[in-house]
Structure 1
Amino acid sequence: MVGHSVVAFLALIAAVAAVPAEFDPIISRLDPEGLRYGYIRDDEGTPHLVDSWIKASDLRNMARYNPDTDNEYHLYTRSNPLISQPIVQGNSALLSASNFNPARRTVILIHGFLGNILSGFNTVLVPAFLMAGDFNIIVVDWGKGAHFGFNGISSGRSVGRFITWLNQASGASVNNYHILGYSVGAHQAGIVGRSLNGQASYITAMDPADRWIASQALRPSDSQYTEVIHTNIGNIGVEAPCGHVDFYPNGGIGMPGCSTALCDHYRSYFYVGEAMATGGFTGIQCATLADAKSGSCNLPGRLPMGGVNPKTGASGIYYVPTNGSPPFSQG
């Protein structure tokens, strides 16, 4: 069946390539229940109008991106905190010569729409993790495909294949992985976890993008403990809970010290970075999402937001107050 599907897809691509450029028919409505057009901001904050309907020209563009060869994987450890070491799938000699240690916990970082290795998400989280512990930190640069957000689906599946090879080649365990994604990359983190059959121990999703395909959205079962941090709900970020635990700092929008939606969106990874390096964020359990949004949570449960270790078995919705400038944590 897989072979037939591949042949059918290649035939479709070939047919599309033969279509005159001025004729650009609709192939699929990826989000038939939602609006066709909407804006997604790249990792630098620039808004881009995105069409959620797939056209013939989109298939041509998507076909040019091959995540198995175009994605890059950059390893950082305490032995090389500033200059990454490349890891190439299938190249066991290069892996053996690197500082990758299968006995360590492995962290996977996945940037957002139109991002790359230099995105603020990476420049904040890499040093934060190195401060917190001796990890294998692998930055996924899927920038060659990130110009088309839905390439995150094929990229996520490819990252899953990369991790499977890495474990086979090194002896590392999938249960010792922490996968983190930001914005569109948050949903990609879920796809990575899904491709690993939900065996990764920890996913941290930072303000998952609201403009995404419902069937490919982040879900709790993507890892053993899936944690979501919402900082710009109803605008750039999705509002509804989508993890085992969903944190809504300051009600999920209007972060102290911010005056723009983009600032709110960024705060998600700044909070995660601070939590990794110094801890301190404490969530107050809420009875409902409405309570979290209004900040009127009074259940007795308390739970740390973010951090190195998964809170496996925890669930629910939590409100987290923060400061307007670093340190953001109020303890």
Structure 2
Amino acid sequence: MCTDILSYHNSRRTSITLNESLGSPALSRQDDIKPKSHRWELIPDDEGRMHLMDMSSYVHSVDPHFDAVTDTIFILFTRRNPTSGQVITPTLASIQSSFFDRNHPTRFTVHGWNGSPQSRVNWLVAEEYFRYGDYNMITVDWTAGGTTLNYITARNRVRAVGGVIANFIDFLHENSYLEFEKLHVMGHSLGGQIAGLTGKQVRRGVIQVISAFDPAGPLFSLDNPNERIAPTDGVYVESIITNGGLLGFMEPISHATFYPNFGRVQPGCESDITGQCSHSRSTLLYAESINSMFTGQECSSFEEIRDGSCNPTGRTGRLGGPQGSIGQRGNFFMETNAVEPFSRG
């Protein structure tokens, strides 16, 4: 892929070129919104930089300097422009002058904290989809909201960003550019939570598939599904847990939840003290799954997986895939390789 990046955030240019360098997906640690005795926590950002956060200072307010409507940017990639994206807006003139094809399925990808269009959740996933077929791949660039030294500030913006994505989806559907049955929204870490919050806010239908790659944990409560990804957000909701209990959400919060290598530390990441390696593995597994098969064994209970064991029920499930596994339910365990290809079939 091309290595030249066009700077467009200030000029609002109509195209962007993806960077080949790997962006490290956003990192997180499961928590809830209640004050804790351990109020200070180190949280890595999308580039792996560690930030000391005062987690007791959380408030449900959005920074007034962030305007989700104008500061959330949509960038279209297709097989006709696989590396040079087109900035599109919810106007007929913008869509009609772009390479958007109403006959092709549509995929939205969402980066995490301090991420960017160059994060691999965007370009790596798009690369694999274009190997498989024709798609409208839309990168959601919320850099203006997610680029901040304060994780709490970024977390406060996720619902607003999800609302803007939902409005764009409704616009495309209203003008016959999109069918909900061919729609898939996915994201990593905070982007995974945004994907779920997008599903909660669409008005004209139900998103067919929503995928969260190690969805962010800090300040998202298990007891408050209205503020995090949940099974009710789409027809089929899937989570891939690769660093659960440390930087990711451990509990099953989707129709199907996959726990590669029991979902905590991934092979080849054993010396990674921040958890960044394991946390980012979720995106790599999903991208590979588009053109490869990952088969998980359903375990009899989540508690088994949490404790590092699995009593197989005899049912299997497919992780990821280009279309999603509609109707699939359960908590699944699988072993993967330490390096690519990660799949063992």
TM-score (norm 1): 0.85
Give, in whole Å, the separation in 2 of the partners of 1:196 and 1:231: 28
Query: Counterpart of 2:120?
Result: 120
In structure 1, what is the Cα distance between the partners aligned to 2:305 and 2:230?
A: 20
Count of aligned pairs: 298
Aligned to 2:154: 149
Q: Which moved more, 1:320-329 or 1:155-164?
A: 155-164
- Measure the CA separation in 1 of the matches of 2:311 and 2:192: 26
Q: Which has the higher helix share?
A: 1
Equivalent position of 2:10 in the other structure: none
Specify the alignment match of 1:32 in structure 2: 34
The residue aligned with 1:107 is 107
- Taking the aligned partners of 1:136 and 1:52, their CA distance within structure 2 comes to 38
Which one has the largest radius of gyration?
A: 1
- List gaps (5 residues or longer) in structure 2: 1-31
The answer to whether the Cα contact below 8 Å between 2:298 and 2:316 also exists between their aligned partners in 1 is yes
Matched position secondary structure for 2:192: helix
Alpha-carbon offset, residue 55 of structure 1 = 7.2
In the alignment, is the contact (CA less than 8 A) between 1:38 and 1:211 conserved in 2?
A: no
Corresponding residue of 1:161: 167
Select 2:334's aligned residue among 317, 320, 323.
320
From 241, 251, 265, the equivalent of 2:252 is 241
Deviation at 1:308, TM superposition (A): 1.1
* CA shift digits 1:169-228 (9 cap, x unpaired): 343222321000100111110000111257000011100111033231110111000000
Task: Report SS of the residue matched to 1:64.
Answer: coil
| Matched residue, 1:64 | 65
**Cα distance in structure 1, aligned partners of 2:103 and 2:55:** 42
1:125, CA displacement in angstroms?
1.1
Match of 2:46 among 38, 43, 60: 43
Q: Confirm or deny that 1:226 pairs with 2:237.
A: yes
Aligned to 1:179: 185
1:300 and 2:306 correspond: no
Matched, 1:201 2:208: yes
* Residue pair 1:43, 1:120 contacting (<8 A) in 2 also: no
Q: Secondary structure at the match of 2:113?
A: coil
Work out which of the residue numbers 281, 286, 289 in structure 2 matches 1:275.
289
Q: Distance in 1 between matches of 2:107 and 2:342?
A: 23
1:55 & 1:242 partners in 2: Cα distance? Answer: 23
Give, as a single letter, the amino acid of the residue that structure 1 aligns with 2:212. A
Structure-2-length-normalised TM-score: 0.82
Indicate how the Cα distance of structure 1 residues 234 and 76 shifts in structure 2: closer, same or farther if over 3 A, else same: same
Does structure 2 retain, via aligned residues, the 8 Å contact 1:112–1:185?
Answer: yes
How far did 1:126 drift? 1.5
Structure 1 position 52, deviation (Å): 4.2
Amino acid at match of 1:66: D
**Unpaired runs of at least 5, structure 1:** 1-29
1:88 and 2:102 are equivalent in the alignment:
no
Give % identity: 31
Does the C-alpha gap of structure 1 residues 149 and 39 become closer, same or farther in structure 2, counting only changes over 3 Å? farther
Higher relative contact order (CA 8 A, sep 6+): 2
Structure 1 counterpart of 2:51, which letter? Answer: H
CA shift, 1:36, in A, is 4.4
Q: How far apart, in 2, do the equivalents of 1:289 and 1:95 lie?
A: 44
**Distance in structure 2 (CA, Å) of the matches to 1:33 and 1:227:** 29
Please give the per-residue CA displacement for 1:274-309, whole angstroms capped at 9, x wherever unaligned: 001x22210100011232242423210011100012
Q: Distance in 2 between matches of 1:77 and 1:120?
A: 16
Distance 2:207 2:88 in 1: 20
1:7 is matched with none
Structure 1 residues 308-317 or 202-211, which shifts more?
308-317
Equivalent in the alignment of 2:132 = 132
- Go from structure 1 to structure 2 and tell me whether the alpha carbon gap of 1:48 and 1:284 turns closer, same or farther (over 3 Å shift): same
Cα distance in 2 for partners of 1:179, 1:124 equals: 15
